[in-house]
Structure formats: C-alpha cells, structure tokens
C-alpha cells in the first residue's frame, strides 16, 4: 500500500481578507471561502480519498464538509490539526503587532520564535500535527493493509490551516520548523501532497505544494 497525504488549507475568511491573525480563534468561511471550498472539493474528489481528517475549528470543518458532500467519506475531527496559536496577537494585523510589541515582532519577522506573548513555538505546532498524522496513518495501515495491494494508492486528506500544515510537513520531512523555515503558509483552499517512501528516511517526500488543481494523468502513476 502506498499512501498519499493531502494537506488542504481551509477557504477564505473575513479575517484572511483583512490580514488578521486567526490562530486558535474560531471563525467561519466567508462567501468566497465557501465557493473556493466547493470548487476545490470537486478537484480533490478525483483522488478518491479513503479518509478525511479535519481540524475542529469551524473554517476547516466547513471546508471539509464540501469534500464529504462529493465523496460521502465521513469527516474525522482532530483538534491537533488546529492552527498555530498566536496568544495575545490573535485578531491583530502585522502592523498592529509591530506597534504593540516591536521587539517581538522583529523576532517573528526574522523567522525566530517570539517570547512572552503566548505564541506557540513552530516546533511544538509541527510535532502535534505530525503526531496526529502518524496516528491516522497507523490506523489506516492497520485497517487496510490486508485488503489493498502493495502498489495501490490510498489517499488521506487532512483539512487544516496555513501554519499547522507548513509546520507539520516540515516535521514529517525531518526538519525542525523552529530552525528551518523552508515552507511558508499556502493560499486559501490550496493543498500540498506528501507521498510515502518505503523504508526511507524520512518516510515521506514532498510531491507538490500550494496546488489547486489535480493532474489526473499522475493520480495513479506506476511509482513514487
């Protein structure tokens, strides 16, 4: 069995449009976000997901519901997929943070870890997401390993957030996101794909990042 992990960022919210940090706060999709999710779900359905996991925050859950509507695959809620928490900065724009906490704003903009304002470390965010993914993978392998062939592709979709996705992927690829910030957050309703590598280190490779269409010709290509 070969695994394809799809990390799908939620659709647009009013806070995205106004460039405000949402973090762990719970906001719904706006009208554009609903339209984005409906369109993207039709694309992602082409990969025939076997499982759909979603952050329990409303913007992710609403996004996941569009994929459920076109696939019939139930949504499994996972709070560990939540966005990176931003403490006292949640609800603020970058300009407002700079005015309020200029020193820690500079630390943040330089790719380091802010202190004293309640912002979750990227490493901690990445570890909780990677742990959730590992649990999901173990469950799927235990359930499906005897019923699918070794070359069959099993797709699992994780609906989450820009920060939690990028930090989680960096961790799954063996990087510490507090030290290596090679991936940034994706656009709304875009996705990334990791593919399994048997007995390799790391056991995943990044196949695509920040996509919004599916290349049908490569969905079931012979090998990874």
User: By mean pLDDT, which of 4-8, 36-40, 136-140, 218-222 is the weakest?
Assistant: 218-222
Q: Return the percent helix, strand and coil in the chain, to nearest 5.
A: 40, 20, 40
Question: Which SS3 state, helix, strand or coil, does residue 10 take?
Answer: coil
Binding residues for substrate: 9-16, 59, 83-86
Cα–Cα distance, 101 to 56 (Å, whole number): 30
Same domain, 108 and 200: no
Cα-based angle 155, 158, 162 (whole degrees, multiple of 5)? 135
Same domain, 129 and 109: no
In a domain, 224, yes or no: no
Note the pTM of the prediction, 2 decimals.
Answer: 0.95
Cα–Cα distance, 57 to 36 (Å, whole number): 17
Same domain, 179 and 75: yes
Measured CA distances, 157 to 4, 74, 86 (Å): 8, 11, 25
- pLDDT tier at 217 (50, 70, 90 boundaries)? low
**What angle, 0 to 180 degrees and rounded to 10, lies between the N-to-C axes of helices 58-71 and 31-44?**
40
Query: CA torsion, points 191, 197, 201, 206, in degrees to nearest 10?
Result: -20
Cα–Cα distance, 97 to 87 (Å, whole number): 12
151-170 residue pLDDT tens: 899 999 999 999 999 999 99
Nearest alpha carbon to residue 124 among 77, 90, 86: 86
Same domain, 106 and 197: no
By the 10 Å C-beta count (0-12 exposed, 13-18 middle, 19+ buried), 66 is classed as buried
> At which of 73, 98, 119 does a domain end?
119
In a domain, 131, yes or no: yes
116-151 residue pLDDT tens: 999 999 999 999 999 999 999 999 999 987 788 878
Please measure the distance between the N-terminal and C-terminal CA atoms of the chain and give it in whole angstroms.
12
68: number of Cβ within 10 Å: 15
Same domain, 24 and 60: yes
Mean pLDDT of the chain: 95
Q: Are 32 and 189 in contact (CB under 8 A)?
A: no
Same domain, 99 and 207: no
Nearest alpha carbon to residue 153 among 224, 67, 220, 72: 220
Number of domains the chain contains: 2
DSSP labels, 204-223: EEEEEEEE-S--GGGTT-S-
Same domain, 177 and 150: yes
77-116 residue pLDDT tens: 999 999 999 999 999 999 999 999 999 999 999 999 999 9
Same domain, 128 and 60: yes
Q: Are 88 and 23 in contact (CB under 8 A)?
A: no
User: By mean pLDDT, which of 33-37, 43-47, 192-196, 197-201 is the weakest?
Assistant: 197-201
168-200 residue pLDDT tens: 999 999 999 999 989 988 999 999 999 999 889
Same domain, 76 and 155: yes
Same domain, 60 and 115: no
Binding residues: 9-16, 59, 83-86
Same domain, 91 and 81: no
- pLDDT tier at 219 (50, 70, 90 boundaries)? low
Cα–Cα distance, 1 to 196 (Å, whole number): 9
In a domain, 223, yes or no: no
Across 41-51, average pLDDT: 97
Residues annotated as part of the active site: 10, 83
Same domain, 210 and 143: yes
CATH (domain of 44): 3.40.50.1240
100-109 residue pLDDT tens: 999 999 999 9
Structural domain that includes position 208: 2-85+121-218
Q: Are 105 and 89 in contact (CB under 8 A)?
A: no
């Amino acid at each position: 069995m070969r695994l394809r992990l799809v990390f799908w960022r939620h659709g647009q919210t009013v806070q995205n449009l106004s460039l405000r940090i949402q973090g762990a706060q719970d906001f719904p999709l706006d009208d554009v976000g609903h339209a984005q999710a409906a369109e993207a779900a039709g694309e992602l359905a082409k990969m025939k997901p076997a499982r759909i996991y979603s952050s329990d925050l409303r913007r992710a859950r609403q996004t996941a519901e569009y994929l459920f509507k076109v696939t019939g695959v139930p949504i499994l809620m996972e709070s560990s997929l939540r966005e990176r928490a931003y403490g006292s900065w949640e609800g603020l724009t970058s300009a407002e943070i700079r005015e309020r906490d200029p020193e820690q704003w500079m630390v943040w903009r330089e790719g380091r870890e802010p202190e004293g304002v309640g912002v979750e470390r990227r490493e901690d965010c990445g570890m909780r997401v990677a742990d959730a993914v590992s649990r999901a993978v173990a469950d799927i392998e235990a359930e499906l390993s005897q019923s699918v062939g070794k070359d069959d592709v099993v797709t699992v979709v994780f609906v989450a957030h820009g920060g939690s996705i990028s930090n989680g992927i960096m961790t799954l690829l063996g990087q510490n996101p507090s030290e290596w910030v090679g991936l940034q957050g994706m656009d709304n309703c875009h996705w990334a794909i990791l593919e399994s590598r048997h007995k390799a280190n790391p056991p995943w490779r990044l196949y695509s990042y920040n996509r919004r269409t599916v290349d049908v010709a490569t969905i079931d290509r012979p090998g990874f």
